Amino acid sequence: MDLSYYPGCSLCGTSAEYDQSIRAVCGHLGVGLTELPDWTCCGASSAHMLDDRLARLLSSANLVLADREGHDLVVPCAACYSRLKFAEKDFSRELGESRGDHPVRVIHLHDILAENHLLDTIRALTTRPLTGLKVVPYYGCLSARPPKIVDADRPEDPTTLDEILETLGADVVRWSHKTECCGGSFAVSRPDVVRKLSGNLMAAAKHAGGDCFVTDCPMCQSNLDTRQKEIEKEHGEVFDLPVFFITELVALALGVAGLDKWLRKHLVDPRPLLRERGLS
């Protein structure tokens, strides 16, 4: 399987471990990723808040590049995915170009990993099942909404992360907040909103019996990881919930090199939990 790859700005900076783990895991699974040449910002978050047409044109420019490459475009960031899906819907109208009989599709990373043949490959290559690890799958609010834009069959109850985690042998925790917002891009402008919304997520995950979160959104991971200590202080409660990227747990189960380097970047250190569960 060969795909074009759009990392987006976050994965080239604060969430570099997500990018590195994606490349390592996809290489291990035989998924060929070719970074989209000369890609540019998708317009999230500031552009689409100020000028919708500019934001769509920024994303559309990346779709032009993807069309030239001739492969479907995999996008791991929920915000980038949302903006590129909006552009995908009105690509022809905005640019006045025909997309032909085989248009390039914008696909989220979790949809790639949850394809049946890749789940079979993951199952076959798993050397360290995540038995006993109680994982809370957190999708966030963008990857499944708006459903008519992102083509989500189950916008209120997505299951792709659940399916991947179950294939890895983890204990997937059922909980009430899997698509609730964490505060997203308010991290700088309204940290009080982030603390409230992310605090609600932590309380719900702990109440459900989770050991840790797993997500595939760099903004969600950042909010839940970097704000956790101050949220604990505000709530008067210790949550101690590490926040994994899905590809980090795939790497752990498959024995892909590089995991410790990625986990050392997390502010809520996941390594004690892994040791306690006999997974390190």
In this structure, whether the domain defined by 128-276 belongs to CATH 3.40.50.11810 is answered with yes
Sheet of 212-215: strands edge to edge?
Answer: 171-172, 134-137, 212-215, 243-245
Predicted confidence (pLDDT) per residue in 40-69, tens digit: 999 887 776 778 888 888 898 999 999 999
CATH fold group of domain 2-110: Glutathione S-transferase Yfyf (Class Pi); Chain A, domain 2 (1.20.1050)
What's this model's pTM, rounded to 2 decimal places? 0.94
93 pLDDT exceeds 70?
Answer: no
Mean of pLDDT over the chain: 93
Mean pLDDT throughout 98-115? 82
User: Angle 11-15-17 (CA atoms, 0-180°, nearest 5)?
Assistant: 100
Domain(s) labelled CATH 3.40.50.11810 in the chain stretch across 128-276
Does residue 216 have a pLDDT over 80? Answer: yes
Q: What confidence tens digit (pLDDT) does each residue in 134-192 have? A: 999 999 999 999 999 999 889 999 999 999 999 999 999 999 999 999 998 788 889 99
Q: What is the mean pLDDT of residues 251-275?
A: 98
Give the pLDDT confidence score for residue 186 in this predicted structure: 86
- Of 37-51, 167-181, 196-210, 257-271, which range is least confident? 37-51
**Which comes out higher in pLDDT, residue 133 or 97?**
133
Within the chain, all domains assigned CATH 1.20.1050.140 are found at 2-110
User: Sign (positive/negative) of CA torsion 2, 101, 77, 123?
Assistant: negative
Write out the H or E segment, with its range, that includes residue 68: helix 52-69
Of the chain, the percentage scoring pLDDT greater than 70 comes to 94
**Is the pLDDT confidence value at 102 over 70?**
no
pLDDT at residue 97 in the model: 52
On the question of pLDDT at 21 being above 90, the answer is yes
